[in-house]
Structure 1
Amino acid sequence: MSLKFKKNLVMILVVGFLGAVIGGVTWLLLFLLNLGIDFLWSFIPARIDLTFYPLMICALGGLLVGLWEKRFGPYPRELSEIMAEMKTGQKIPYNNLHIIGLAALLPLIFGGSLGPEAGLSGIIVGLCFWFSDKLKFTLTEVEEIAEIGMAATMGVIFNSPLFGFINQIEDDDSISRIPKNTRMLLYFVGILGGFGAFRFLSDHIGGGSGLGNFPAIETLGNTEWTLVIPLALVGSLLGMLYFVFKGLVKLAIRPLKDKVVVKAVLAGVILGGVGMFLPYTMFSGEHQLSELMHGWESIGVALLLVTAIVKLLITNVCLEMGWRGGHIFPVIFAGTAIGYAFAMILPIDPIFSVAVVTAALTGAILRKPLAVILLLLIMFPINAVIPMAIGAVIGGAIPIPGFPGLGEKE
């Protein structure tokens, strides 16, 4: 048995075990998140009737988020920032994973319009360095394992192993020292290890996540195909609006640049205040999506449109003002609401409308058409593949708008 074969075998075993650990950590974070949300937003309100409860709770959440950041620093950090440090040879510490974990949970439990995916990045990379110290891997190998770990995390959170794989490699132009075939094998071993552990814990203990499933497209006729590009352009324009909101929020909070606590509390006040009138603008949108699927016709066109647009704004308010998290879940919810709104205006199949608009909006923001298609296939029926592909490609091709005063494209 050659030394190279032994090393590859060790890498496969380590990645498989690491994937299982990642699946377990992801399950635990989501389990604690659901417990916290149920306690704060179901248990207490059922016993205390306060008109301004969302405003008070979100403001309190903002205070805790701000104080936590002021005490421990801006956690969880962006994955791109962490990976950039790794490429310069810096070691990522892993003695503060509990701090990162609570920092990831706080904004989500207190109603932030955010997803959990970004909050796990620091934890996963920290675990990878812990493994590397124990097994004496080189920094380059740790970087590879960290990328595999993030692929496993994304696959687990969104219940889509292939999305986790494609999302990580679709725009990855880094030079790998691990042979391509071995690298692909490691990706799938890590993702399947994470997915298996997550499903085992979810099935036997409970918890987990999921975006729900849309029924099949019943009508796919000339009217739908005529409107596929206009609907894709609607979703793409919403994606551009998302970046405009991002720029506006950045400009608005410039005077508060160093006031960490003030920004976080203000974000909580905005979140809770808006949430009193538009409750769907709060939280990630993952659980609310099933409610939207069954009750969209009773909501009305105007409210669907307003909710979707405001949710894109509130997500940026949270992200730019210290409530750290992901944006994929809120974006999918916003695209779904807009798609249903246009289904009420136009004589088209509602699932077709939702599929195209959501794919275009998500594609415009993620800039990874193939990953978007694989992600949304978990939710949408197989006969939505071509409409989604058209939407995702058009959305991904729309340029990201620059914003005056920022000096860069956001």
Structure 2
Amino acid sequence: MTDDVAPAPSIRSLVLLAVPAIVIGVVSALLLWSLEQLADLLEQVLWHGLPDAVGIAPDSPWLTIGVLTATGLAVGLVVQFVPGHAGPDSATTELDTPPPRLREVPSIALAVLISLAGGVSLGPENPIIAINGAIAVALCARFVKVVPTKIAVLLASAATIGALFGTPVAAALVLTGTVAAVRGGGSLWDKLFLPVAAAGAGALTMHLLGAPPLAFDVPAYGGPSPADFATGLLVAAVSAGLGILAAFVFPYIHRGFHALRHPVLFTTLGGLVLGILGVIGGQITLFKGLEQTGELIANPGDYSTGQLALFTIVKIVALLVAASAGFRGGRIFPAVFVGVALGLFFQSIIPGMPIGLAIACGAMGIVLQATKDGWMAIFVAVAMTGDITLLPLLCVIVLPVWLLVTKAPELAVKPPAISDSSSP
């Protein structure tokens, strides 16, 4: 009955393969850190240096519209004319999408660098996982042939997720389903050993480089009450419902922009629309959303109920526009901002609702819909608050919300059935 099951990997093989896993982890983190540092420098030039030089106020609506429109034009030029065409359309990719060809990597890095610096409402996760995956495959094929291509991709994904969230736990949770599906002997942790090694190396490298941890100062929860399940479920369900609505309209918005056919046209138009949305929602609704989420959590009393509703609506629309208009980036970080803003909105109108519960459930609902991954949703919810006492209640609330999202459309656009690799 077990003749076709491969033996468990030996300790020696795990130890030997841990070396390239750790190297991939360190390299992946360094590439992520370098990309974010360059984006920060370019952001300072675009949003502070140039305005100061020409005498424009940093909060000028014309600056917001101008920078984002110019960002759209620049990304469109990369997508249309730079060799590699910035890789696949980010609207069609997920965290586990196979990596692009190595020759596409420079154009992907350039497009995501411009998008991050220009204030586009997308995160770095999808492109940097693609970049690190392509580089890991190339390095292993050249120097460490004992590491198969699929394992190299898995290690690069784990390393990048660990670096993005500052902990290997996120990678272990996200990749549990993937490695469990791999046929072979040994325990689940035999299969997770190398990805966790890569993720741990990536996370530790980011900490050593001084990257801020994914943690915010939120008042302690203190324990569940009978009303908390109902209010938490309400917030998580509405958050997931907003994600479902976004997933439903996503292909139509994507189709509308791409009807213009030329990337320069639809990314420039997308940048203009993002600029107008930025004027409506304010600069807190720009960029990938992680730092802006921290601003919301740190100063919830600074925003009215109406402002929180506006932030939620503007950011989800900006996410859809950015992802539809050809910009390169991931959807998780801006989705987290949407969920946190929505959670704070409900916390402002539900008397006595704990702020940590509101934030966690708001983030969990939309991330669950965006990723279709319960582990990732629970992890992000706890990470937003840093409060482990929320975990038992979140594990219960996630179950009915999962029933809501499991058959819902994904927050992604299906790639064309036949693609021409030479076209953008």
- TM-score w.r.t. the length of structure 1 is 0.86
Q: Secondary structure at the match of 1:43?
A: helix
Shift of residue 58 of structure 1?
Answer: 0.7
Q: Structure 1 unaligned segments of length 5 or more: list them.
A: 87-91
Indicate which of 321, 330, 339 corresponds to 1:317: 321
Shift of residue 176 of structure 1?
Answer: 5.1
Match of 1:385 in 2: 391
Query: Counterpart amino acid of 2:377?
Result: V
The answer as to 2:175 corresponding to 1:168 is: yes
Indicate which of 132, 144, 147 corresponds to 2:140: 132
Match of 2:310 in 1: 306
Give runs of aligned pairs for residues 1-400 of structure 1, distance below 5 A: 8-47=14-53, 48-49=55-56, 51=60, 52-71=62-81, 72-77=83-88, 93-135=101-143, 137=145, 141-171=148-178, 174-175=181-182, 181-202=189-210, 207-208=211-212, 210=214, 212-218=216-222, 220-256=224-260, 258-279=261-282, 280-347=284-351, 348-380=353-385, 381-399=387-405, 400=407
Q: Secondary structure at the match of 2:145?
A: coil
Contact in 2 for aligned 1:58/1:111 (Cα 8 Å): yes
Contact in 1 for aligned 2:67/2:275 (Cα 8 Å): yes
Deviations 1:213-244 (A, max 9, x none): 42312574333233232222212211212212
The whole-number CA distance in structure 1 between the counterparts of 2:133 and 2:229 is: 44
Shift of residue 122 of structure 1?
Answer: 2.4
Query: How many pairs align?
Result: 393
Structure 1 vs Structure 2 CA RMSD: 2.9
Q: Say which is worse superposed, 56-65 or 387-396, in terms of deviation.
A: 387-396
Question: Aligned in 2, Cα 1:9/1:349: closer, same or farther, shift over 3 Å?
Answer: closer
Deviations 1:142-174 (A, max 9, x none): 211211211110121122311122112335665
Deviations 1:375-404 (A, max 9, x none): 33222211221333234333333245459x
Shift of residue 345 of structure 1?
Answer: 0.8
The whole-number CA distance in structure 2 between the counterparts of 1:112 and 1:333 is: 13
The whole-number CA distance in structure 1 between the counterparts of 2:402 and 2:162 is: 21
Contact in 2 for aligned 1:211/1:289 (Cα 8 Å): no
Q: Structure 2 unaligned segments of length 5 or more: list them.
A: 1-8, 416-424
- TM-score w.r.t. the length of structure 2 is 0.84
Question: Aligned in 2, Cα 1:407/1:323: closer, same or farther, shift over 3 Å?
Answer: closer
Q: Secondary structure at the match of 1:54?
A: helix
Deviations 1:339-398 (A, max 9, x none): 111111111222222211221121122111122212332222112213332343333332
Deviations 1:105-143 (A, max 9, x none): 1111111101111111221112212222223526x8221
Shift of residue 85 of structure 1?
Answer: 6.0
